[in-house]
Each structure stands twice: as C-alpha cells, then as structure tokens.
Amino acid sequence: MTRASFLLGYRTMLIEFDCSVQLSNVVKQAATSCEEFNDEFDPQIRTADPRFGDFQANGVLPFAKKAGLNPRELSEKLLKSIPLSDYWNTSLAGPGFINFKLSEKYFFEWAKKFSDKQSIRSAIKEKKSKKVVFDFSSPNTAKQMHVGHIRSTIIGESLSRLFDFFGHQVIRDNHLGDWGTQFGILLLSIKKLGVSLEDLGADPIAKLEELYRQGNQLVKDNESNLDEARTELVKLQNGDSENLTLWEKIKEISMDSFLKIYDLLDVKFDFSLGESFYRDKVDEIYAKLLSFKICKEDDGALVVFHPEHKRFAKQPFIIRKSDGASNYATTDLATVQYRFEKWNAEEIIYVTDGRQRDHFDQLFLTVKKWYSAEDISPPKLFHVWFGTILGDDNKAIKTRDGQPIKLIDLLKEAIERAKLLIVEKNPSLDCSEVEKRAKIIGLGAVKYADLSQDRTLDYVFSWDKMLAMQGNTAPYLQYAVARINSIFRKAQSQPEDSFNIFQTSLSESERNLFRKLIFFPVVLKQTVKELKPHFLCTYLYELSTDFSSFYNQNKVMVENEKIRSNRLLLCSQTILFLKTGMAILGIETLQEM
RNA sequence: GCGGGAGUAGCUCAGCUGGAUAGAGCAUCGGUCUUCUAAACCGAGGGUCCUGGGUUCGAAUCCCAGCUUCCGUGCCA
C-alpha cells in the first residue's frame, strides 16, 4: 500500500472518544506489516510528557527485549509503517519511544464530535452491560450515623454513579446492621425505664442512643439485668410480637434519621435489606456448607478454615457462634446467595473500612468453594476498602470528649462554614441564595475532600483545606464552572449551543486545555478499573487549573468571530466535562459563586 | 509471633502499575485587576523518593533484608 492510500484511509477514519485506543489500533495495525511483531505486541499507549508529545507508545521496548532485538531499530521500522496523518505527528525518541503530537485539526474535530452529553455517554458506554450490586453505607440501626460512615456512603455513591455512567445496571443496597446484639440492651432499657417509642421528642434517634447508654449502665450495675437483656434478645430472635413491634419502630426511627443525611448527600438506595432480612436464610447456609464439608465444628462454633491459605488455615471464619447465633459472616454468605439468585448479580462491590479486609478475604474464599462445590460460577466479589479519617493529632477523628462525631453535625458545620465564606465575598446576597450556595459548596467540599485522596490511605480532616479556593478542592472546581457560566451569560448563549469551528492556530494555554480534555476518557476508564475516585478528582483539578490559565491569558468574548467561537467551544467542552465528572462524584455546581 | 497498609519538598498529598530532567497545593519570596468573577493567574527557591542490597537499556514504582508507624489476627461489625 502506498503512503497516499494510507492517508486516504485516515481521512475517512472515525475519531474515537478515547484517543489512546485509537492510537493503539494504529500502532497495532502498523505492526502487522512488520514481520518482527506478533499478536503479543502491546503498544502501551500512555499520556506523554508535554515536552515530547500528547501520547507515547512504550510497547516496543519490552517487546524488543523479549525478542532479543535492538529496540531503537525496531521502533524505527515500526514508525515507518505508521501511515502519515493530518491528525498527528509522530517522532522517535530515546531508546525507542514513539511520540504522538496531536494536530489542531484533530483537536477541533474531536471537540466538535464530543461536545454534548449524549455523545459522550454513548461513546463511553460499555458494550456489555453488567449487573452490579453496590453494598455501601450500612449503618447500624438504633444509633446515629457518625463520621465513620461518611467514606462508605460517599465513595459507594460515587462508584455507583460511575458504573451507571458506563452503562451498567447498578443496584444500591444499604446492608443495615439491624439485627445485632445491641437490641437486647436497648429493649431492656426501654422496658425498665418505661419509655414510649411514640413519644421520644424532637430528636428520637438521639433519645434511642441515650436509652442504649442507660441500658449499658443497667447491665453493668446489675448481673440480673444482663440476663434480662439476653432474654429480651432471644425473645426478639424467636419472634416475640411485643419485641418485634418495638424493633420495627426502632428501625423506622433510625431510617428517618438516615434519610435526612442521605437527602443532604443526595444518596438514594434501591434496597435497604439489612441483616434481619436474612435471619431465616442462615440455616440453609449451614446445611449447605456442612454438606460440602467446607465448614466444621470447632470449640462449639461452626467455622471455615482455608488450609491452602497461609493465615486462614489457622484463623477461622466463624459462621455460627458457639451459642448457636449467627453473625455477620453468616448473613454476608446468605446475602451473596440472595443477590445472585434474586437479582442475577454479576458483580458485588462492598465498600467498607479497611479493617474488614480479612473478613472479606475469608468471605470471598468461602463463596468460591461453596459455588465451586455447586458447580456454579459465583458473582465476582470486590472489596473496595478505605482508610481512616484522622484528626489534628493524627489519630482517628473524635470530638474533644472522645465521642464519635455525629455525621449530621459535621455536614451542618460544613454548610455553616461555607455560608461565612459566601457572605464575606458577597455581603449583599439575599439569605435564600446564601443558603442554597452554602449547601452546594459546603457539602461539595466534604465529599471532595474524601474522594480526592487515594481511598486506601488514612487522611487528615481539615476544614480550612477542604474549603480553600486554592489547590485540589471542590470550591476551586466549582469556581471554574461558575466562571464559565459567567462567560456564557455574557455571550448570551448556553454551553449546550452548537458553535462553529474555524481551524486556527492555538495559543499555548488553549492547546494545553485541548490536550487535557482529550485525556478525559482515559481517566474515566482508569477510575472505573481501579475503583478509585481520586483519579477522576486529580484530573478534574488539572482540567480546572488548565482552564484557569487559559481564562487568564485568553479573553473569550473578543471581536474576532473565529477566535471567539473556538474559545466558546473550549469553554463548552470544559464545563461539560467538569459537570459530568463532578456529577459522578455527587458534587453540584453553581451559576455564580 | 504471623499477616497487611503506609513512609516522596518544612506541612498535606499526586505520581497513569517499569519509562525520558520526580509533580501539585499550603507556607516563604517576587510579579499581574480600566478586561468574561483577583475566591484567580504568572514566576522563584525548596528532594539521600525511610535505609541497604538485587533484577535491566531504564526503579519512587518489582524482589530480598532491616528501620519507623498504623491496622488486623476465634465467637463485635
């Protein structure tokens, strides 16, 4: 084939959303015409250092090593087989990197093609949609949600949104801790103190917590009270109607308080099947695991060992306690079965604290053996774990008197702090507008602070840092969006409007912004693959800084129609990606700040 | 004891799973508003990537050993 015909082919080639996929195909195609390469060759397209280009293919080096060839010579040969294109320039560098520098033609055509919501959604959509259950938030009933629940709730919601964006079928299931031993003490307390659950005052969940504390005291004070608490629990578990009614009421009060928080955070669940839902399904689990000889009795408890595992050969997975009661291991097994059989879940993603890693490793191993014995392939199970939120003292965050911080208080404080900043900058703004913005900015800051750091690490909680306008924060991103909105107000148009494009030469900051926009799909894929929202956050922050540079150096609303139109296109795509990305993070944006 | 995280600028963190001269923000110092929001932007200084070995064209990233620190480790979740 001649170079001319190659070129012809490229003119008709469709531009893909993910440029790295496109380049990978180009390089692979070129490799087929070089006899040295075979199917194992992976071009390894990566984003490049701006000094060298926009993307680079690293794959020749490891391939040459394996084949015992000179990498530089092999790259030269491959490069010659890559057809000329007016979409990019290629160059060879170093020991054998192939660099791609995208042309202005490519930038403009790409931006034009992916300038609206529908086009990017359909471009990113996975061909095979999966049914994925997200198990997150999962607070215990009869207690208020505290700061310890925030990460699961925010990360779980964000990942759910991300999967939804990729076109998967997402089921959000709040696996409530509603069947624990806490109910014995609570029921005792309610009965001893003669409290009516219908009349707990303005803050019923706080009252329940107090009753629990009082119950604990009763149990400590008097041995017979402890026995009574146990009796109440057994009565509940055996279906005593009075206790069940109380338990239902407690659950209702708890859900009301959770919903207030979920409303604030804009989190919605498809199901809230707690541990209690599985209480009549655990016997079947015992029977099955016993029949498959996966579990055995040990010290009176029913346990699973994994002899092939260095640690779980000795460390048991206890599925039935020696007193005959089930625990969370049992309900988690029953839950896998239910989600698989009733919902046809293909994947289940658990979002919990990293301290539960052993539990989930053991659960996953047990499920694997169980389903293997049934000769069925189980759903894929993933544990998305996260670190601890630390206070100033680098220890798990607590109030001054050592109590866990109530989540509702934390969220309210975020809103209050945001309010102060808004009023400081806009003293004449009316109250309702201040309220509205404070909610968006304050809650956005809290969410972003959590999502923007690698979830597997502990992080230090800092109001000043998360609400700052400089650096990797939600308000900084929201400010960029507000400035773009401001430009469109002046232009008397909308970001969604269609803009004519005129291929012009680009200033440095314009080019940088285009380049960053091109990376959006690459980052989305990385985020969903690693289940780490901070990749997306880092990208959105960089996109915002590149926009800010552009904004300061290039006036959009200029006389020259071509330049104006092109810059509006850039603004339009920037705000589209920012808003899309932030929506995945669960963060709202504003017209004005 | 065993197992698992973490250790990168004074501080808080990134670093695309082995790529080119390790990057941001804060803090410090200096500059930019008659302009679409200066809540911003531009620039400067700041590094034994915990230590020591190893693997190779190439290591913050992989393997081994050690140090510091956090967490888990039989009836809580």
How far, in Å, is the CA of A532 from the C1' of nucleotide B47?
Answer: 28
A348 in the same domain as A221: no
Tell me the CA–C1' distance in angstroms for A362 and B5: 18
A286 and A257 fall within a common domain: no
Tell whether A378 and A327 lie within a shared domain: yes
The order of strands in the sheet holding A347-353 is A169-173, A131-135, A347-353, A380-386
Q: C1' nearest to CA of A523: which nucleotide?
A: B16
pLDDT at residue A358 greater than cutoff 70: yes
Burial of A234 from C-beta contacts in 10 A (0-12 / 13-18 / 19+)? middle
Count helices and strands in chain A by DSSP H and E runs: 22, 13
What's the DSSP call for residue A323? T
Q: What is the mean pLDDT of residues A185-207?
A: 90
Query: Are A585 and A537 in contact, with CB atoms under 8 Å apart?
Result: yes
Q: Which of residues 250-279 of A touch strand B (CB under 7 A)?
A: 275
Q: Percentage of chain A with pLDDT > 70?
A: 98
Is residue A220 over pLDDT 60? yes
A290 & A416 share domain:
no
Domain end position, chosen among A238, A265, A292: A265
Å from A70 (CA) to B56 (C1')? 14
Read off the CATH number of the domain in which A13 is found. Answer: 3.30.1360.70
User: Smallest Cα–Cα separation from A79: which of A110, A46, A21, A36?
Assistant: A36
Distance A453 CA to B13 C1' (A): 8
pLDDT the model gives residue A2: 41
Q: Does position A68 have pLDDT exceeding 70, yes or no? A: yes
The CA distance from A104 to A483, in Å, is 25
Q: Integer distance in angstroms from CA A214 to C1' B48?
A: 57
Q: Which of A102, A120, A154 is the last residue of a domain?
A: A102
**Protein-nucleic contacts, chain A 534-553 to strand B, CB < 7 Å:** 534-535, 538, 541, 545, 548-549, 551-553
A50 and A193 in one domain?
Answer: no
A88's tokens? 């990019």
Q: Which amino acid is at A502?
A: F
Query: What pLDDT sits at residue A4?
Result: 44
* A397 CB closer than 7 A to any strand B atom: no
Count Cβ atoms below 10 Å from residue A558 Cβ, excluding itself: 11
- Residue A116 belongs to some domain of the structure: no
The residue written with tokens 């019923």 in the block is A204
Query: Is the Cβ atom of A479 within 7 Å of strand B at any atom?
Result: yes
A318 touches strand B (CB under 7 A): yes
- Specify the nucleotide whose C1' lies closest to residue A302 (CA): B75
Distance between CA A565 and CA A577 in Å, rounded?
Answer: 18
Residue A159 has pLDDT above 50, yes or no: yes
What pLDDT was estimated at residue A9? 45
Q: If DSSP codes are grouped into helix, strand and coil, which group holds residue A347?
A: strand
pLDDT in tens, A526-579: 999 999 999 999 999 999 999 999 999 999 999 999 999 999 999 999 999 999
Cα gap A245→A410, rounded to integer Å: 32
Does the pLDDT of residue A111 top 80, yes or no?
yes
- Tell me how far apart the alpha carbons of residues A268 and A263 are, in angstroms, rounded to a whole number: 8
- Whether residues A194 and A141 share a domain: the answer is no
State which residue has its Cα closest to the C1' atom of B33.
A552
Average pLDDT over residues A354-358: 94
Q: Which amino acid residue lies closest to nucleotide B6, measuring CA to C1'?
A: A457
A572 located within any domain: yes
Q: Is the CB of A61 under 7 A from strand B?
A: yes
Query: Do both A250 and A279 map to the same domain?
Result: no
d(CA A237, CA A184): 10
**Chain A residues 411 to 470 with C-beta below 7 Å from nucleic strand B:** 421-422, 425-426, 453-454, 456-460, 462, 465, 468-470
Residues A176/A141, Cβ–Cβ less than 8 Å: yes
- With a 7 Å cutoff on the CB, does A49 touch strand B? yes
Domain total for chain A? 4
List the A486 CA – B35 C1' distance (angstroms): 14
Q: Which two tokens stand for residue A493?
A: 């148009």
User: Would the Cβ of A471 be found within 7 angstroms of any atom in strand B?
Assistant: yes
Helix axes A104-113, A508-518, angle to 10 degrees: 50
- Residue A208 belongs to a domain: yes
For A399-453, the pLDDT digits (tens) are: 878 888 999 999 999 999 999 999 999 999 999 999 999 999 999 999 999 999 9
Whether A110 is in a domain gets the answer no
**Which nucleotide's C1' sits nearest to the alpha carbon of A64?**
B57
| Bridge pairing between strands A317-320 and A347-353 | unpaired
Strand B proximal to A181 Cβ, under 7 A? yes
Q: What is the mean pLDDT of residues A53-70?
A: 90
Strand B contacted by A67 CB (< 7 A): no
Q: Where residue A374 sits, what CATH number does that domain have?
A: 3.40.50.620
- The whole-angstrom separation of Cα A204 and Cα A583 is 33
Where is the domain boundary, A265, A292, A307?
A265
From the CA of A290 to the C1' of B58: give the distance in Å.
54
In a domain, A121, yes or no: no
Nucleotide closest to residue A482 (CA–C1'): B37
- State residue A472's pLDDT score: 95
A574 belongs to a structural domain: yes
Give mean pLDDT, residues A132-146.
95
> In Å, how far from its chain's centre is CA A431?
33
pLDDT at residue number A5: 42
Chain A span 186-245 residues with beta carbon within 7 Å of strand B: none
Cβ of residue A327 lies below 7 Å from strand B: yes
> Which of chain B's bases lie under 7 Å from a protein CB?
2-6, 12-21, 24-27, 35-42, 56-58, 70-77
Nucleotide nearest to A323 (CA to C1'): B75
Q: Average the pLDDT over A3-9 and give the result.
A: 45
Q: Which nucleotide minimizes the distance between its C1' and the CA of A460?
A: B12
A398 touches strand B (CB under 7 A): no
Torsion angles phi and psi, residue A428, rounded to 5: -95, 5
The answer to whether position A401 is within a domain reads no
- Per-residue confidence (pLDDT) for residue A181, from 0 to 100: 80
The C1' atom of B20 and the CA atom of A48 lie apart, in whole Å, by 10
Residues 480-539 of A with CB under 7 A from strand B: 482-483, 485-487, 489-490, 522, 526, 530, 534-535, 538
- Verify if strand B has an atom below 7 Å from the CB of A309: no
| Domain presence at residue A261 | yes
CATH assignment at residue A426: 1.10.730.10
Would you state the pLDDT for residue A11? 45
Tell me: the pLDDT tens digits for A470-498?
Answer: 999 999 999 999 999 999 999 999 998 88
pLDDT at A6 over 70: no
Q: Give pLDDT tens digits for A492-520.
A: 999 988 888 888 889 999 999 999 999 99
| Exposure of A128 in the CB half-sphere (CA atoms within 13 A) | 1
Q: How far apart are CA A406 and CA A174, in angstroms?
A: 19
Q: What is the mean pLDDT of residues A450-475?
A: 93
Mean pLDDT (chain A) is 92
Do A333 and A416 belong together in one domain? no
Nearest alpha-carbon partner for A383 in A419, A409, A412, A347: A347
Considering the domain architecture, whether residues A68 and A153 belong to the same structural domain is answered as no
Q: Residue A13's pLDDT is what? A: 66
DSSP state of A276: G
In this structure, are A464 and A577 located in the same domain? yes
Say yes or no: A431 and A534 in one domain: yes
The confidence score (pLDDT) of residue A201 equals: 86
| Token digits of residue A374 | 């049934």
Average pLDDT over residues A352-367: 95
The answer on A214 and A355 residing in a single domain is no
pLDDT at res. A486: 97
pLDDT of residue A12 exceeding 50, the answer is: no
Domain assignment of residue A247, given as a range: 182-265
- DSSP labels for A71-139? HHHHHHHHHHHSPP-SSEEEEEETTTEEEEEE-HHHHHHHHHHT-SHHHHHHHH--SS--EEEEE---P
The mean-pLDDT minimum among A12-16, A194-198, A223-227, A501-505 falls in: A12-16
Q: Which nucleotide is nearest to A51 (CA to C1')?
A: B20
Scan residues 550-579 of chain A and list those with Cβ within 7 Å of strand B. 551-557
